[in-house]
Chain A
Amino acid sequence: MIGFLTKRILQAIFTVLVVTLVVAFAIRLTGDPALISAQGGGTVTEADLQRIRVALGVDRPFYVQYLGFLKGLLTLDFGRSFVGGTPVSQLIGTALPATLTLAFASLFVSIVLSIPLGVKAATTRGKWPDQAIRIFSLIGLSFPNFWLATMLVLLFAIALQWLPPSGYDGFSSYIMPAVTMGLILTATNVRLVRTTMLDTLRSQYVMVARAKGLSETKVLYKHALRNCAIVLLTFLGVQFGGLLGGIVVVERVFNWPGMGTLAFDAVAARDYPVLQSVITVLSALIIGVNLLIDLAYGLIDPRIRTQ
């Protein structure tokens, strides 16, 4: 077990390092940040630009900048934004909770919807509820999320005025973004729950349990749902990365001040510290979540550990 754990952790760290290197290298190809920083209202000379480059620290060779960034990471010092000099940790400190809370809200919505629907579909296999649920889930998968978002805003915020159209203040502002993301996640999850339920219901040990005389409901909810949890957990890992990606688009529509907006603005401003830090933090998070899920999986199903 320890060996497994160590191996996975080392792998995770290695991956994070590779990601930071790739990102650090890539964004330095986007252009000269001194030009953006200078914002010369009058004329900006090469001397001015060089002065700014020194002030920002981008005149140093790449490996020096990169090692400096890594060193900073160890102390959780992400540097200062090239735009206005705000400490990046402060910017991430507001943006990360915004993104994460939205992610969890979306997952919550999707779980609340997909488990009952998936179970219903599995237990009424072949009959119209199953078919209807399958059709709706396919449609859900096919919806462009930004279109769904704009439609929802039109309906609930403007026409009905029930919910705020944007912003990040209070419970009601979470509803539409979370539902938008949640609905799309539900589409995939419903089918997963359905398939897993069907598998489990057919499987051997459920038959044995039934033979032993346990009531139908107990059989269902005790054995089948546990399997569902495992499957959902695995797909959570895969979906988390996609979730964060999809959230970026939704953030734009809802003016949600999350990591996505931060990244967008940083690319436009060629704000290296912010962009590097945002991508590093998000990647580390995804890798971390996947690691935890692998471990959880390993705990639940001993066969996996030996792989």
Chain B
Amino acid sequence: MALKLTRSLLGALAMSTALIAASPSFAAGKLTVSLSQDPGSWDPVDTFLVAWATVATNIFDGLTYRGPDLKLVPGLAESWQVSDDGKKITFKLRQNVKFHDGEPFNADAVKFTFDRLLGDEGSKGPQKSNYAAIEKVEVVDPSTVDFILKSPDPVLLTKLAGYGAMIVPPNYIKEKGEDYFNTHPVGTGAFKFISYEPKIGVKLEANPDYWGGAPKISELDYKFITEPATAVAELQAGRVDIVVPPIIPISMVPTIKGDSRLELMSVPGPTVDALRFNTRDGITADVRVRKAIIMAVDRKTIVDAILAGQASEIVSFQSSLSLGYDPDLKGLPFDPEGAKKLLAEAGVKPGAPLQIDIRGNDATMNEVAQAVSSYLQAVGLTPTIKPYELNVLLNDIIPQGKTGALFQQKWGGWTFDYDNTAYSMYHSGEKWNPYEKDAELDKLLESQRPMTDAAQREKVLRQIAAYVNDKALELPLYNSNAIYGVNKRVKNFTPAPDNRIKLNEVTVD
């Protein structure tokens, strides 16, 4: 009570001061955001964690920018021109932009960024391979750069909006060194880095000279909170203003909705979950068994009951917003009798054991897996669920092909383009595909990469989805919404499906 009163008084004070000052760039207030992970390093080349992107979108900029409406607009590049053969892109850079340490943003900075990403420093991290289409970057003049590509990459412009392509300051890095840059990042973004306490949080402050408009809040604090229940508790206690996905489990949605101080914002997101098959070992090597498993599970009921409107059913491993999504593609129907027949046909004995590997920290998938398990029991299988530590699952178990019969794959697909997902999941030799070697599928995947005609590419992508469906390579489950928990004192906040939100337009009461 006292806390609320104090806050209202301070709010009133701030507002009246603002009116008196009558200055349009008055920034006041602190926004606190909860993050689920500590990425450990703030260097753009080091990570592919969503948690990193949530913070980094406010520290760094890319040449292009993609906001919550998913439209690609100019970022640090004012305009660009793609050559006819698709192998060269010329960018005209924004003028008068400075990095937080004062050095100017120019063509040299862009060249430095990409040389670094594609060179030794980038080799230490996972981002480099996303930009493999780039051969080199050439400086034409201080405000123009040319990107020379090995082959056309229609998704490149989107990829330049985030992660590894975010522009870094050459002088600062050369002067302070790579290690220092990891923990003291400097960029051109709306907020400047102040401090980072490992495992606790990171603090930013407003950059009044930001080219996109000075932030309307003065401080931006991120706290690392891994436990979902704790994050929501902090939200309810008013100590955190925004909880970003994917922390909030579906089970806590009613709690947030029921609290008058809070608002639940749920937007369709790119994240899809599926249980993929081990097509190499055991009974799931047989396509009939895989189809039987898919037919045994009532996916619609699971989505409706457990996910309570916060997710939608999927047929292929992509969201409905993705390029390559085919609304007419029909998945296998829910048919437990048919499933039993197929299993018998494939010679599977009743009671056959089956291991389902899932992420240990995913409360929603935990419930879904148990429901799936129960459906599989009904057709005579004996499933067990094995939760894995996230890192171990992602970096050891899956890539090394040590999974059980089914394993959870969650995919962010932030480019909203099926190419990125499909290539990584189904092309032989990719990290996420330890089991399949399908020459025909490989050909399909490779064929669409260089296509610059979007309609043509879409056709091939739909073909790929249909092929995967036929071969029953996965049990597609759901496409979750991006669920945000927001304190009502936060104004002007637009939830983004991909977590990458610039907070310079936001105000707090």
What is the interface of chain A, defined by CB distance below 8 A to chain B? 31-32, 35-36, 38-44, 48, 81, 83-86, 90-91, 94-95, 150, 153, 157-158, 161, 164-168, 252-255, 257, 261-262, 265, 267-270
A268 to nearest B CB, angstroms? 4
A127 to B220 alpha-carbon distance, docked (Å)? 59
Query: Does any Cβ of A come within 8 Å of B309's Cβ?
Result: no
Residues of A within 8 A of B200 (CB): 94, 168, 257
By the criterion CB–CB under 8 Å, are A43 and B129 in contact?
Answer: yes
Query: Cβ of B230 and Cβ of A44 under 8 Å apart?
Result: no
Q: How far does the Cβ of A224 sit from chain B's closest Cβ, in whole Å?
A: 43
Contact B396 A158 (CB under 8 A): no
Closest-CB distance, B169 to chain A (whole angstroms):
20
Residues of B within 8 A of A38 (CB): 126, 395
In the bound assembly, the distance between CA atoms of A17 and B398 in angstroms comes to 37
Q: Which of B189-243 contact A (CB under 8 A)?
A: 197-200, 223, 225-227, 229-230, 233-234, 236-239
Q: CA–CA, A158 to B232, complex, Å?
A: 10
Verify A35–B230 contact, CB threshold 8 A.
no
B396 touches A35 (CB 8 A): yes
Known: A165-B234, A167-B234. A265 touches B48 (CB 8 A): no
CB of A269 within 8 A of CB of B199, answer no
In the complex formed, the residue of A with least CB distance to B127 is: A41
Stretch at the interface among B138-146, B384-392, B498-506: B384-392
B366-402 interface mask toward A, CB cutoff 8 Å, 1 = contact, 0 = none? 0000000000000000000000011110111001100
Residue positions of B touching A, CB distance < 8 A:
3, 39-41, 46-48, 123, 125-130, 132, 179, 182-183, 197-200, 223, 225-227, 229-230, 233-234, 236-239, 389-392, 394-396, 399-400, 429-431
Contact yes or no, B126 A35, CB < 8 A? no
- In Å, the complex CA distance between A39 and B127 comes to 10
Query: Which one of B128, B225, B229, B395 contacts A42 once the chains associate, using CB atoms below 8 Å?
Result: B128
**Which chain A residues border B127 with CB–CB below 8 Å?**
41
CA distance A192 to B404 in the complex (A): 51
| Beta-carbon nearest neighbor of A84 in chain B | B40
Residues of B within 8 A of A157 (CB): 233, 236-237
A residues in contact with B230, CB < 8 Å: 153, 165-166, 253-255
Query: Is A42 touching B234 in the complex (CB atoms < 8 A)?
Result: no
Q: Min CB distance, A291 to chain B, in Å?
A: 31
Residue of A nearest to B178 (CB): A85
User: In the docked arrangement, what's the CA distance between A31 and B400, Å?
Assistant: 12
On whether the beta carbons of B237 and A39 are closer than 8 Å, the reply is no
Q: Which of B238, B400, B431 contacts A43 (CB 8 A)?
A: B431
| Cross-chain contact B48 with A39 (CB below 8 angstroms) | yes
Q: Which residues of A contact B234 (CB under 8 A)?
A: 164-167
Which chain B positions have C-beta within 8 A of A91? 198-199
Decide: A41 near B126, CB < 8 A? Known: A261-B199, A269-B391: yes
Give the total number of A-B pairs whose CB atoms are below 8 A apart: 117
Closest A-chain residue to B361, C-beta based? A268
Q: Which listed residue (A31, A42, A257, A265) contacts B431, Cβ 8 A?
A: A42
A257 touches B199 (CB 8 A): yes
CB nearest neighbor in B for A265: B199
Q: Bound state CA distance, A196 and B225, in angstroms?
A: 44
Q: A271 to nearest B CB, angstroms? A: 10
By beta carbon, the residue of chain A nearest B226 is: A255
Query: Which residues of A lie under 8 Å from residue B198 when comparing CB positions?
Result: 86, 90-91, 94
Pair B431/A41 contact, Cβ less than 8 Å = yes
A87 to B386 alpha-carbon distance, docked (Å): 34
* CB pair A167 B40 closer than 8 Å: no
When C-beta atoms are compared, the residue in chain A nearest to B360 turns out to be A268
Give the distance to chain B from A273, nearest Cβ to Cβ, in Å. 14
Contact of A85 (CB < 8 Å), options: B125, B179, B238, B429: B179
Residue of A nearest to B255 (CB): A158
A86 and B431 in contact (CB under 8 A), knowing A41-B130, A158-B237, A167-B223? no
| Contact between chains at B223 and A32 (CB < 8 Å) | no
Tell which of A32, A40, A48, A265 has the most Cβ of chain B within 10 Å. Answer: A40
Chain B, Cβ-Cβ closest to A156:
B237
A35 touches B399 (CB 8 A): yes
12 A-B residue pairings within 8 Å (CB atoms): A35-B396, A39-B126, A41-B48, A81-B40, A95-B199, A164-B234, A165-B230, A166-B233, A166-B234, A254-B230, A255-B230, A268-B391
B429 touches A43 (CB 8 A): yes
B122 to chain A, nearest CB (A): 11
- Contact across chains for A41 and B129 when beta carbons are under 8 A apart: yes
Residues of A within 8 Å of B399, CB to CB, are 35, 40, 44
Minimal beta-carbon separation of A157 from chain B (angstroms)? 6
Contact (Cβ within 8 A) B237 A165? yes
List chain A residues, Cβ under 8 A from B236: 157-158, 165
A168 to B224, CA, bound (A): 12
- Determine if A85 and B182 form an interchain contact, defined as CB atoms under 8 angstroms apart: yes
CA separation between A42 and B390, bound complex, in Å?
18
Residue in A83, A257, A268 whose CB lies within 8 Å of B389: A268
When distances are taken between beta carbons in the complex, the residues of chain B under 8 Å from A153 are 230, 233
Residues B431 and A44 in contact, CB atoms below 8 Å apart: yes
**In the complex, what residues of B have CB within 8 A of residue A265's CB?**
199
**Given the complex, which residues of B lie within 8 Å of A35, measured CB to CB?**
395-396, 399-400
Q: How far does the Cβ of A160 sit from chain B's closest Cβ, in whole Å?
A: 10
Q: Is the CB of A165 within 8 A of B126?
A: no
Give the chain B neighbours of A268 by CB distance below 8 A.
Answer: 389-392
Going nearest first, the 6 A-B pairs with the smallest beta carbon separation are: A42-B129, A41-B126, A84-B40, A165-B233, A84-B41, A268-B389
Query: Which chain A residues lie closer than 8 Å to B182 at the CB level?
Result: 84-85
Q: How far is the CB of A149 from chain B (nearest CB, A)?
A: 11
User: With a CB–CB cut-off of 8 A, which chain B residues contact A32?
Assistant: 396
B199 touches A262 (CB 8 A): yes
A109: shortest Cβ distance to chain B, in Å? 22
Contact of B233 among A40, A158, A267 (CB under 8 A): A158
A39/B47 in contact, CB under 8 A: yes
In the assembled complex, the Cα of A36 lies from the Cα of B397 at a distance in Å of: 10
* C-alpha spacing A43/B130, complex, angstroms: 11
Q: A165-B237, A253-B230 are in contact. Are A40 and B126 (CB under 8 A)?
A: yes
Chain A, Cβ-Cβ closest to B223: A167
Verify B239–A36 contact, CB threshold 8 A.
Answer: no
Q: In the complex, A262 Cα to B226 Cα: how many Å?
A: 13
Closest to B235 in A: A165
